[in-house]
Amino acid sequence: MTEPKKRHLLLSGRELFASLSVRTREIVLLVVLSVLLAVLQALAAGMLSPVLQYIEFGKSKSGSGIFGTMLYRGLSVLGLQVTLLTLLVLAFVPILLREFIYLAYIAYSSRVQQRALVRLRSTGFAAIVQGDLAFAVSEGNNQLVSTLTAQVQRGGGAITQFLNLISIGLLIVMYVLVLGVLELKLTLITMVALALISLLVNNAIKRSRALGRETAELNNESYSVISERINALRLIKMLGQEDKETEIVTDVVERFGDAQRRISVLSGVVEITIDPLQMLMLFAVIFVGVQYFHASLATVGLFLFILLQLNVNVKGFNNGRQTLSANIDSLHLVRMTFKRASASRHIIGGETPFEALVDGIRLEGVSFAYGDETEELVLKGVDLEIPCRSQTAIVGRSGSGKSTLVDLIPRLRDAKAGRVLFDGRPVQDFDLRTLRRSIGFMTQDALLFNDTIFNNLVYGLEREPDADEIAGALQASFCANFVEKLPNGLETNVGDRGVRLSGGERQRLALARVFLQDPEILILDEPTSALDSESEQFIQQALDSVRHRKTLIVIAHRLSTVQHSDQIVVLNHGVIEERGTHDELLDAEGAYRRLFDFQIYG
């Protein structure tokens, strides 16, 4: 093996163990078990030598050699006579011991692998949720889910193969030592032949790594494409796109399947390359051993027996290298994704716990751009005062920067320029967790988990709410009536993303969760835009009940829902075009008036 290839193999091992956080003591114990397995396997094979010598020559020569000496000493210590039966019984002992060690190895290696996968998924998920929101948005939900599931599983397959390669490699070494004891010259010839066979399959192994990289990428693409279409089934049916979308999915999965097929073909290439060459080598060993070295039948027979076992392991070793090469890039993809997630964490909180808002929130000259594209500012020098316990409405056309602006308040994003101040202090001074837990955030897409109504209500609470608190939150959000009518009440499972509830019920339940949280500040991003009039009225009444008790920031397309706000801010292309009350802005005959008239008169 050349020096670059050695470094590559070592790099793969380091990458595997580092990526999967396999502990040093786990590696050491696995290596110890592998060594014991290899020693016992070699000992079991070597013990056949004195048995075969006894059968061919009788007692006179059966005690010669290392293994014969060991076996005879064992019989002597036990006080047993040398017979074929006692030789066979004693030769069986290492075989039996090997099986127990093998069971321990399988159990422990499986434990190490599963614990490594758990650690990898856990630390990866932690890196994603602790990283900045911009990272998750840029990567895409489907891509991240695929990475945490399918790609991590393939990466786990890589560590399994690597551990197997260590075990098989040690076993090959032991078999070679036994062969060397039996017949050194034949062993040297055999090693040269095996090395040449391994070199012949190197090209297939290199191609497997390239295919493994392609397979990892296609696996993510397949998951993303299928997941998107499952989520869009209603739209697909309504637009009659079933056949077209089936073709798209079929194309992706066919390309993924083709990559998998090519990996299987390469595995077959390795098989058909190794098998005939190994048989030729066996025949050559028989010919050379008998014709030139005049080896005895017992020696040739045992040599061939061990050589057959060695060939099986060499074949397994080369196949393992091919499989490892096919899976290693999944682990590399996982590692790079999690590394980017960790590196994306630029928003770091301060040391001051956020306790309460006293005066208000102020934005001074705030500008924002996604990524490094500073020439395309989403917000441009925004100045805005949001008094405590007031209602501020932010309106404007789609793409004007409304959602981006409110994301700056809980620091889901940070401004590129300017300052966000809470009671005159930069938002960066405050501890992120206490700041965000003081802000209730609700969007038009009410997020509910596939769990009971009760568990969705209390999600994130760090206290145990009593029955009166639950009832009060349900009543305030106009959820009490529909929850009482459900067969299991609060214990009703809402289904995936709340699919068993109507849109209005989901939105009101999400609002009940916010009320139970009892935050200082409430941010509502178009909470009624997708609701019917009755549901909108319920939400509006619920919000009116907390006006002037909470600091409300409402993004709205429907201007009818924000007419009573203390101030209305009109945002246009990232710039505040107007601000004032509903009546003031109507009288100004500006952008707000045009939006209002368009909604009223069309």
Check pLDDT > 50 for residue 6: no
C-alpha–C-alpha distance, residues 175 and 258, integer Å: 39
Q: pLDDT at position 387, please?
A: 93
C-alpha–C-alpha distance, residues 86 and 103, integer Å: 27
Q: pLDDT at position 287, please?
A: 75
Residue 439 parent element (H or E): strand 439-443
CA torsion through residues 333, 334, 335, 340, sign: positive
Check pLDDT > 50 for residue 477: yes
C-alpha–C-alpha distance, residues 249 and 359, integer Å: 55
Check pLDDT > 90 for residue 384: yes
Q: Among 484-493, 526-535, 547-556, where is mean pLDDT lowest?
A: 526-535
Check pLDDT > 80 for residue 40: yes
C-alpha–C-alpha distance, residues 310 and 380, integer Å: 72
Q: pLDDT at position 530, please?
A: 53
Q: pLDDT at position 2, please?
A: 41
Strands (E), 86-206: none
Per-residue tokens: 238: 């309504």
Dihedral in degrees, nearest 10, Cα atoms 523, 525, 526, 527: -60
CA torsion through residues 387, 392, 397, 402, sign: positive
Tell me which of 131 and 62 has the higher pLDDT: 131
C-alpha–C-alpha distance, residues 42 and 380, integer Å: 75
When pLDDT is averaged across residues 488-513 and rounded to a whole number, the result is 85
Strands (E), 56-102: none
Q: pLDDT at position 394, please?
A: 93
Tell me which of 502 and 24 has the higher pLDDT: 502
Check pLDDT > 50 for residue 161: yes
Task: Give tens-digit pLDDT for 229-259.
Answer: 776 766 676 667 778 888 888 888 888 888 8
Strands 521-525 and 379-387: unpaired
pLDDT level of residue 373 (50, 70, 90 thresholds): low
Check pLDDT > 80 for residue 539: no
Residue 306 class from Cβ within 10 Å (0-12 exposed, 13-18 middle, 19+ buried)?
A: buried
C-alpha–C-alpha distance, residues 477 and 544, integer Å: 11
Q: Among 216-230, 294-308, 310-324, 541-555, where is mean pLDDT lowest?
A: 294-308
**Residue 519, phi then psi, degrees to nearest 5:** -80, 160
Q: Among 221-225, 273-277, 475-479, 491-495, where is mean pLDDT lowest?
A: 273-277
Q: Among 238-252, 341-355, 531-545, where is mean pLDDT lowest?
A: 531-545
Check pLDDT > 90 for residue 164: no
Q: pLDDT at position 64, please?
A: 56
Tell me which of 191 and 486 has the higher pLDDT: 486
Please name every residue paired with 363 in a beta bridge, in sequence order, or none if there are none.
384, 420
Q: Among 128-132, 274-278, 529-533, where is mean pLDDT lowest?
A: 529-533
When pLDDT is averaged across residues 3-19 and rounded to a whole number, the result is 49
C-alpha–C-alpha distance, residues 598 and 593, integer Å: 8
At 579 the three-state DSSP class reads strand
Where do the domains of the chain lie, and which CATH numbers do they carry? 3-343 (1.20.1560.10), 448-518 (3.40.50.300)
Task: Give tens-digit pLDDT for 385-423.
Answer: 999 999 999 998 888 888 889 999 999 888 889 999 999
What is the DSSP code string of 21-62?
Answer: T--HHHHHHHHHHHHHHHHHHHHHHHTHHHHHHHHHH-TTTT
Percent of the chain, pLDDT > 70? 85
C-alpha–C-alpha distance, residues 303 and 311, integer Å: 12
Check pLDDT > 70 for residue 160: yes
Task: Give tens-digit pLDDT for 431-457.
Answer: 988 998 898 888 777 788 888 989 988
Q: pLDDT at position 352, please?
A: 92
3-state secondary structure 278-326: HHHHHHHHHHHHHHCCCCCHHHHHHHHHHHHHHHHHHHHHHHHHHHHHH
Q: Which residue has the tokens 């050699």?
A: 65
Q: pLDDT at position 353, please?
A: 92
Contact (Cβ atoms closer than 8 angstroms) between residue 38 and residue 173? yes
C-alpha–C-alpha distance, residues 46 and 54, integer Å: 14
Per-residue tokens: 268: 């077959």
- What integer best gives the mean pLDDT of the chain? 80
Q: Strands across the sheet with 567-572, in order?
A: 439-443, 521-525, 551-555, 391-395, 567-572, 575-580
Q: Among 201-205, 472-476, 576-580, 591-595, where is mean pLDDT lowest?
A: 201-205
Check pLDDT > 60 for residue 8: no
C-alpha–C-alpha distance, residues 563 and 580, integer Å: 11
Contact (Cβ atoms closer than 8 angstroms) between residue 585 and residue 593? yes
C-alpha–C-alpha distance, residues 590 and 2, integer Å: 76
When pLDDT is averaged across residues 284-302 and rounded to a whole number, the result is 70
Per-residue tokens: 97: 């011991």
If you average pLDDT over each of 151-165, 497-511, 573-587, which comes out highest? Answer: 573-587
Q: pLDDT at position 372, please?
A: 60
Q: What residues contact 292, with CB distance under 8 A and at least 6 apart?
A: none
Residues in the chain: 602
Q: pLDDT at position 597, please?
A: 84
The angle formed by the CA atoms of residues 535, 536 and 537, to the nearest 5 degrees, is 90
What is the DSSP code string of 496-544?
Answer: GGGTTS-HHHHHHHHHHHHHHH--SEEEEESTTTTS-HHHHHHHHHHHH
C-alpha–C-alpha distance, residues 46 and 67, integer Å: 6
Rounded to a whole number, what is the distance in angstroms from the first to the last CA of the chain? Answer: 77
Q: Which residue has the tokens 């829902």?
A: 561
Strands (E), 305-416: 360-368, 379-387, 391-395
Check pLDDT > 50 for residue 1: no
